[in-house]
Amino acid sequence: MDFFRLFRNDDSTSKNVAKERLKLVLVHDRTNCSPHFLEMIKGDLLKVIYDYMEIEEDGLDIRITKTKRESDEVMIPALMLNIPIRKMKTR
């Protein structure tokens, strides 16, 4: 799966694609997380998720971003997941 395809908008122009990729590079640089490391995390998460549910891979969005910690408002890295679920598997 193409890693950057996950961050493209349907109305993506070259400018918007470049802008999103730059944001991604900056976040990874600031969090010391390489794209390869993020792909490894994504693969591990998907292995576990597939055990419990069927998902819509086209809408899958996994990224690392920054957010404010509630206790002291310090900016910290956060793993953000958007995983559209088709149906839950029965065990």
Residue 65 φ then ψ, to 5° = -135, -170
CA distance linking residue 68 with residue 83, whole number of Å: 23
Of residues 43, 78, 60, the one with CA closest to residue 7: 60
Tens digit of pLDDT for each residue in 31-81?
666 777 777 888 888 889 999 999 998 888 887 777 888 899 888 878 888
User: Residue 64 burial by CB count (10 A; 0-12/13-18/19+): exposed, middle or buried?
Assistant: middle
Confidence class for position 6, pLDDT limits 50, 70, 90: low
Q: For 10-27, what is each residue's pLDDT tens digit?
A: 555 777 777 777 766 666
Instruction: Judge whether 7 and 20 are in contact, CB under 8 Å.
Output: yes
Please, what is the Cα angle at 45 between 54 and 69, to 5 degrees? Answer: 120
The band of 1, judged by pLDDT with boundaries at 50, 70 and 90, is very low
